[in-house]
Amino acid sequence: MSTYIPSAHEIERKWFVVDASGKTLGRLATEAASVLSGKRNPRYVPFMDMGDHVVVINAEKVRLTGLKSQKKVYRRYTGFLGGLREESFARLLERKPEKIVEEAIKGMLPKTKLGRKMASKLNVYRGDKHPHAAQKPVALEINA
């Protein structure tokens, strides 16, 4: 008996919506990353994109535990000499809360072409409205 390997046209992708209000960032990110990578799928194979789509709403209401909300710093590099830019969690939360959730989830996915393909199925929105109602997303419960 040989090992079953699903073909690309056999993969059925579902849509899930996650409400981030009051959820801890890390716990939200791990659950979303496991859905995006397809590890919840019984037909999971590590070399194929078996994941489902994830829509995260209320990104501005995500929280951190302890003193991380005061001490956490997001760094990026512009590519020029001395181009290191730093921004605190509180400042980024008021300016672009979607970026906080996106970076947390993408950081838990593989750093390969496959990981980038998985991350393309992630949609993060500020507020509780999203344009994916036609896909009929199912609410994904995350334990706090």
**Whether pLDDT at 132 is above 80:** yes
- What confidence tier does 143 reach under pLDDT thresholds 50, 70, 90? confident
Instruction: Look at residue 76 and give its three-state secondary structure.
Output: strand
Q: What is the mean pLDDT of residues 33-40?
A: 95
Q: What fold is seen in the domain 13-139?
A: Ribosomal Protein L13p; Chain: A; (3.90.1180)
Domain ranges of the chain: 13-139
Concatenated DSSP letters of 9-65: GG----EEEEE-TT-BHHHHHHHHHHHHHTTTSTT--TTS----EEEEE-GGG-B--
The span from the CA of 101 to the CA of 97, in Å, is 7
Q: What is the pLDDT of residues 81-106, one digit of tens each?
A: 999 999 999 999 999 999 999 999 99
Give the per-residue pLDDT at 3. 84
CB 74 within 8 A of CB 86: yes
When the pLDDT of each residue in the chain is averaged and rounded to a whole number, the result is 94
Q: What is the pLDDT of residues 12-36, one digit of tens each?
A: 999 999 999 999 999 999 999 999 9
Phi-psi label, residue 106: left if phi above 0, alpha if psi -120 to 50, beta otherwise: alpha
